Structures are given as C-alpha cells and as structure tokens.
Amino acid sequence: MIVVTGATGHIGNVLVKALVKRGEKVRAFVMPSESLTPLAGLDVEYFYGDVRDIKSLQEGFRDAKIVYHLAGIVSISKKSKNIFDVNVGGTQNVIKACLDCKVERLVYMSSIHAFVEPPKGVPITETKSFDPSRVVGEYAESKAMATIAVLQSIDKGLDAVIVHPTGVIGPYEYKLSNIGQMIYNFMRGKIHFYINGAYDFVDVRDVVDGTILACEKGRRGENYILSGERITVKRIFEILAEVSGIKCPSVEIPIWIARSVAPIFELSHDLFKKSDQQTYTAYSIHTLLSNSLTSHEKASKELGYLPRSIEISIKDTAKWISDLKTSYSKHPAIHRKKMHYWPN
C-alpha cells in the first residue's frame, strides 16, 4: 500500500494518477473539506484525515509500505494562517506516524525555497545545511524547518528521501496556483504590464517522475533538486501570446515602483476577500529577482531525471487552463460514502 498526503493538490493528483497507472495500490489521505474532483474515476482508497492530527495519520498509514508526504500550505504572502502547524507540525506528525507504523520509506516533498540563497551567479545545489533564519518568507522558513525534521528522523531509523521542486507548472491543476492564476489572467487579456524578472519552472509531470524515481533509486537520507528551466516573465508572456493570439504586454514596470505598489495590491486583495490567487505581492517580486539558478545534475545522474522543455510545459498549461471548465464538467465530485474517515 502506498499513501499520498495532499493527494488532491496539483502534484498530488498527478502523482496518484501515475502510481495507479503503474498498477500500485494507493490510499489518498485527504482533508475532510477537500474536493475529490482531481481524483475522480481513479481506483484508489480514500482516507479523511488531517496531518495536524497524529491519530488520523497513524490510522491512515496502517499497513502502508511507502508514504509520499506532499500535504502543505504554499504561500507567497508574508503571513499565512496555519502554515507552521501544517508544514512543520504536520511533517513532524507524519514522521512519527511512519515510525510507529513501520513504513518502509518516506518521500518528503520539500521546496527549492528551503535552501539558503547563494550569491548571484552561483547555482543552488543540494546541501544538508538548512537555516530557517536565513531564508525569506514564512513558506520558505516552514519548509526549511520541516526538511531539517526529516533529516533528523534518519537517525531515529526512518528511511527517508527528500525532493526539492522549483516553481511547478503544468496541466491537471484544479485549484489555480499563483503562476496558474497569472497564466489564466493573461488568457483573459487582463495583463497589461510585466516585471523584468525570471524564475526556474518545472513541469508537474516531471516533478512526479522525479519523485517516483527518488522513491525507487534515491539513497537514504539524500535530497534531490527537481528543477526545470529558468525563464523570464516576458518570455512566458511571449509563448502565451503565440498560442493564444493575445497581445503580449509591452509595458515594463520599474522594480522600485513594483515594490512600492505591491503592499497596496496585497491589502486590496485581503480587504475585498477576492477568491482568485494573488499574483502580485512583495514576496513574488522578491522571488522573481532572486537567484534562481539551479542544477538538477544530482537527480539526473543518480535517478535518471530528465525534465522536458519549459516551452512545452507553458503551452500545455495554457491549454489545460483554457479547458478547465470543461474538465470540471467531465469529472464530477466523488461521493463521500467511499471514504474511511477519522473524526477531528
């Protein structure tokens, strides 16, 4: 039995699909409030629980051979409710449950943000030295802390391996992320300017392939960067313009103006309780201007990891988002009577 926490998320649902396709027996560990639409039609077992509840994890991991721990909160805001409880406390609970249930291998989905950013021009590579006080933002801090907890669990007898994806894009995203929202906004003709920044993005399908490879071939206690390709925001818009026919924005906003106005956009988003994802925050600007040079040489050499062209990923993402409403209509929600449920 393979258990996947965060199974309805972007990486989670693609991972579950890949495991099922391989003939694996999968148990999806999901929050009671989560929509099961991303997993509709799949032959999987479902378990309602919460990573903050150790008892639900112990029950959910019963007879599990492998656990993929993907559940977590991703945020590009300064503060996010429950982020440390879920990302750090939840991971600590997962570790304990794996030890208690004698799980053979834990695969933890960390983040490239867990690493301390090196000087400009120096690529980010795998290290075991994590310092939550030297990363920027609560999300990065929480992932660094959780990664440390997983590494420390090795000494307690846990067989664990860690993967660090960069910015994830690609199809099969049912709840739009920040980059997904940006692409969606572009496809609706709502983007009229851009910031001259860049980041490393990787296809969700490649992240899943790399994560499975890490489970199968990764060395105990090792961590692997799953990166894709560094690309500028302007180039992303140019590719989207090619496939959509929508005019590429030509106005570049100076960095000092972007940084000055970002807090106003964040405040407006919170005040008006907008349901769409924020794409323009002080943290997102920092990320686009940060050192995003990465290397997946270790994952390629040891695991056989080989990501696809970022241009293909962007085009596939645009197509998926354009068809999102149709996709939802084809995948109705699953009835909850099929669930195992641990009450809170």
CATH number at residue 210: 3.40.50.720
Residue 37 within a domain: yes
Which residue range forms the structural domain that includes residue 92? 2-166+203-228+293-307+327-334
Q: Which segments of the chain does DSSP mark as H helices, in order? A: 10-21, 54-60, 83-84, 90-100, 138-153, 178-187, 204-217, 233-244, 255-271, 282-289, 297-303, 310-322, 324-330
Which residue did the predictor score with more confidence, 272 or 169? 169
Band of pLDDT at residue 340, cut at 50, 70 and 90? very low
Q: Are 215 and 65 in contact (CB under 8 A)?
A: no
Quote the pLDDT of residue 48: 96
Residue 233 within a domain: no
Residues 278 and 271: their CA atoms lie apart, in Å, by: 13
Distance of CA 181 to the CA centre of its chain: 15
Residue 147 within a domain: yes
pLDDT in tens, 71-111: 999 876 656 779 999 999 999 999 999 999 999 999 999 99
Q: What's the token pair of residue 123? A: 């690529």
Residue 252 within a domain: no
Count structural domains, the chain: 1
Residue 77 within a domain: yes
Residues whose CB is less than 8 angstroms from the CB of residue 250 and which lie 6 or more positions away in sequence, other chains included: none
In order, the DSSP letters of 136-151 are SSHHHHHHHHHHHHHH
pLDDT in tens, 211-236: 999 999 999 999 999 999 999 999 99
Task: Go through 94-130 and write b for each residue having 16 or more CB atoms within 10 A of its CB, e for each that does not.
Answer: bbbbbeebebebbbbbbbbbbbbbeeeeeebebeeeb
What kind and span of H or E run contains 27?
A: strand 26-30
Residue 97 within a domain: yes
DSSP 116: P
Residues 15 and 170: their CA atoms lie apart, in Å, by: 13
Task: List the Cα angle 103/6/110 in 5-degree steps.
Answer: 75
Quote the pLDDT of residue 339: 40
Share of the chain above pLDDT 70, in %: 84
Residue 281 within a domain: no
Closest residue by Cα to residue 291 from 115, 66, 40: 115
List phi, psi (to 5°) of 26. Answer: -120, 140
Q: Is 189 exposed, middle or buried (0-12, 13-18, 19+ CB in 10 A)?
A: exposed
Residues 78 and 57: their CA atoms lie apart, in Å, by: 29
Task: List the Cα angle 335/317/299 in 5-degree steps.
Answer: 95
pLDDT in tens, 1-41: 999 999 999 999 999 999 999 999 999 999 998 899 999 99
In order, the DSSP letters of 50-83 are -TT-HHHHHHHTTT-SEEEE-------SS--TTH
Band of pLDDT at residue 298, cut at 50, 70 and 90? very high
Residue 143 within a domain: yes
Quote the pLDDT of residue 252: 79
